[in-house]
Amino acid sequence: MAKLTRNAREDVATAGAIIDPALLKAAMRTVSGAVSVISAGLGPDRTGATVTSATALSVEPPTMIVNINRASSTFPIIRRHGHFCVNILASEHEAVANRFAGFGGTKGEARYEGANWTTRLSGAPVLVGALAAIDCEVEEIIERHSHGIILGRVVEVIVGRGQSLVYNNGRYGGFVPLKG
């Protein structure tokens, strides 16, 4: 039998329970993640999103995987243009992360203001000075539930220098190595 219990120290959902989406979201916010901007489109038909869900699916062949909400403005742009760039943000890019997260109501092409952008092989926008930029052509889009799982064939990689911008529990920060 499924059981959901709550107490002052923890919320627990057991097998078979109807899981509250907010509880899953709260659990995932405890995971520290590198902050990236997924950029896509051309000219005025460009937009993007701030994510912590970009990762390499494989290195042979070089393939990235990103998960984008199908209701977002970014999903149809990636589908239409067949490209995206994973711009891994450095610690000084908090303002870029906020714009692409839509803070202040910023949408579409306006998200690109306040930073320098270029294009590379796929045609997707690339953040100048990103910690790293992984330029991709869409290989496959798998639609599941609320999101599109987008596989990208890596066509170019640019690696810069600096420290990663990290996100945890609703806040940005940086990485501090443990002593030892």
Q: Using one digit for the tens of pLDDT, what is the confidence trace for 142-177?
A: 999 999 999 999 999 999 999 999 999 999 999 888
Percent helix, strand, coil in the chain (nearest 5)? 20, 45, 35
Helix (H) or strand (E) holding 144: strand 132-144
Dump pLDDT digits (tens) for 70-102.
999 999 999 999 999 999 999 999 999 999 999
Q: Which pLDDT band holds residue 180 (cuts at 50, 70, 90)?
A: confident
Of 17-31, 65-79, 97-111, the poorest mean pLDDT is in 17-31
Single out the residue of 31, 55, 46 nearest to residue 127, CA to CA: 46
43 backbone φψ class: left, alpha, beta (φ>0; ψ -120 to 50)? left
pLDDT of residue 5: 52
Dump pLDDT digits (tens) for 110-148.
999 999 999 999 999 999 999 999 999 999 999 999 999
The secondary structure of residue 164, as a DSSP letter, is: B
Single out the residue of 146, 131, 136 nearest to residue 69, CA to CA: 146
3-class DSSP assignment, residue 26: helix
pLDDT of residue 16: 66
Task: Examine the pLDDT at 17 and tell me if it is beyond 80.
Answer: no
